[in-house]
Chain A
Amino acid sequence: MILYDYVLSASCYKLRLMAALLGQPLTLRAVNFHPGREHKSPQMLALNPQGTLPILQDGDLVLTQSADMLRHLTRDHPDWRGADDPWLSFAADLNASLGLARLHDILCYPADIYAVRRAGVQQLRQLEAHLAEQRFDGLTFLTGSRPTIADIACFPNTALAPDGGVSLDVYPSIRLWMRAIRSLPGFIEMPGIHRLHELERPS
């Protein structure tokens, strides 16, 4: 399985993280997204006419939507699936708000920055309210007591919100949820999302 990957992309990280948690080997092909705009090169457009990353190639199958890729990676792992669909759509909304705010701040993408930050805060408040209600029922993750692709889809853009100028200081349930994800066996980090240092370093 080949992932066409950019290390700073929140959406690419969804797949790197999911594969790591599953123990699924992944061949990473680094794409010079910035400043090279290699994802818009003729070779990459031949693979994905939309000119976006990530791209997941599994034999003849080529997937260009991160939600489809998460479903594909977990097709033989029913324990990683739940009532995911609304959350995969919510993850797309996060990508359009917090994700765009971050690309604006770190890679100078054009954006109505105040509008996307405002939208991001509204979504974080929804996420916080849902996770607080889950905690009343003794549940840690978005769809239950176990993590599913819903959590992995929503985690990166949430955790990277500060890169786009949106603070996570005021969301206790989101912080505990992020902590639970960062505690999962096999968790890997990316620039801006570090591992839990309070855990002893694995030998």
Chain B
Amino acid sequence: MDWVAVGLCEDVPAGTVVPRRVLGTDLAIWRSATGKFHAWGDRCPHRGMRLSHGFVRGEVLSCIYHGWQYGTDGACGYIPAHPNLTPPKTICAQTYPCNQHDDAIWVTLSGTDQPLPDVGGCRPVRSLDFAVPAADIAAWFGQSLAPVITVAAPHDLHIALQPSTDNACMVHAFAPADQDRKAVSRYLEQIRADIEEAA
């Protein structure tokens, strides 16, 4: 499958983790202290707790439930209740390819040879959830579903579409630097109201 935008880099500061859903798959997107992004299945191998409830210290994501620590390769490196145990290699979070490009975070669930999508040198505005399928938004603007669609009038936007489920998605909007971000944000709110109304 192709790359999917799962958020704006500025919304995930170093040392934080956020939940995102891509095509029904729950992900924990986290950013280490040195600023590197990771996308993992949102499930601790130990007891199934959402890793997005966890916390980041340095280059390690810890599960909130029992504090199991996972390094950047997804492998469990430390179990606080068994401080002398070297965790077996089989205890590993589900990892997915994840990259930062053009102020956006990109993920692919199955790997891809496609280059990372482009947002035309625009700057990030904001992300909004829409209670409609991603394809409906592309269709609204007369386009077919793609990682990024362009909406010329009135703000010359690049819109990255993140299909979350069969009937919900996230929109990550980018606009040229000369566009007023508040005006763009209010335009997006209006578009959302119109598209959801029509659904």
Determine the chain A residues whose CB is within 8 A of the CB of B128 once the complex forms: 128
> With A197-B55, A197-B64, A198-B55 known to touch, is A169 a contact of B182 (CB < 8 Å)?
no
Determine the chain A residues whose CB is within 8 A of the CB of B55 once the complex forms: 196-198
Determine the chain A residues whose CB is within 8 A of the CB of B11 once the complex forms: 172-173, 175-176
Q: Are A169 and B21 in contact (CB under 8 A)?
A: yes
- A125-B12 Cα distance, complex, nearest whole Å: 19
- Interface residues as binary, B59-91 with A (CB distance below 8 Å gives 1, 0 otherwise): 000101000000000000000000000000000
Q: Are B18 and A172 in contact (CB under 8 A)?
A: yes
Task: Give the contact stretch, choosing among A7-15, A89-97, A129-137.
Answer: A129-137
> With A197-B64, A198-B56 known to touch, is A172 a contact of B182 (CB < 8 Å)?
no
Q: Are A198 and B57 in contact (CB under 8 A)?
A: yes
Q: Are B20 and A169 in contact (CB under 8 A)?
A: yes
In the complex formed, the residue of B with least CB distance to A137 is B182
Of the residues B15, B19, B126, contact of A173 by C-beta under 8 Å = B126
- A160-B62 Cα distance, complex, nearest whole Å: 22
B8 within 8 A of A: yes
Interface of chain A: mostly helix, strand, loop or mixed: helix
A146 within 8 A of B: no
Interface of chain B: mostly helix, strand, loop or mixed: strand
Q: Are A129 and B129 in contact (CB under 8 A)?
A: no
B185 within 8 A of A: yes
Q: Are B185 and A172 in contact (CB under 8 A)?
A: no
Q: Are B129 and A133 in contact (CB under 8 A)?
A: no
In the complex formed, the residue of A with least CB distance to B172 is A172
Determine the chain A residues whose CB is within 8 A of the CB of B13 once the complex forms: 176
Q: Are B185 and A175 in contact (CB under 8 A)?
A: no
- Interface residues as binary, A161-203 with B (CB distance below 8 Å gives 1, 0 otherwise): 0000000011111011001000000000000001011100000
In the complex formed, the residue of A with least CB distance to B7 is A172
Determine the chain B residues whose CB is within 8 A of the CB of A171 once the complex forms: 129
Determine the chain B residues whose CB is within 8 A of the CB of A136 once the complex forms: 181-182, 185
> With A175-B18, A198-B55 known to touch, is A170 a contact of B129 (CB < 8 Å)?
yes
In chain A, positions 66-98 with a C-beta closer than 8 Å to chain B are none
Q: Are B18 and A129 in contact (CB under 8 A)?
A: no
Of the residues A132, A179, A196, A197, contact of B126 by C-beta under 8 Å = A132
Q: Are B15 and A198 in contact (CB under 8 A)?
A: yes
Determine the chain A residues whose CB is within 8 A of the CB of B156 once the complex forms: none
Rank and list the top 6 A-B pairs by shortest CB-CB distance, nearest first: A170-B129, A172-B11, A197-B55, A198-B55, A132-B126, A169-B19
User: Can you list 23 A-B contacts (CB < 8 A)?
Assistant: A125-B189, A133-B182, A133-B185, A136-B181, A136-B185, A169-B18, A169-B21, A169-B52, A170-B170, A172-B8, A172-B126, A173-B126, A175-B11, A175-B18, A176-B11, A176-B13, A194-B64, A196-B55, A197-B62, A198-B15, A198-B16, A198-B55, A198-B57
- Using a CB–CB cutoff of 8 Å, the interface residues on chain A facing chain B are 125, 128-129, 132-133, 136, 169-173, 175-176, 179, 194, 196-198
- Using a CB–CB cutoff of 8 Å, the interface residues on chain B facing chain A are 7-8, 11-13, 15-16, 18-21, 52, 55-57, 62, 64, 126-129, 170, 181-182, 185-186, 189
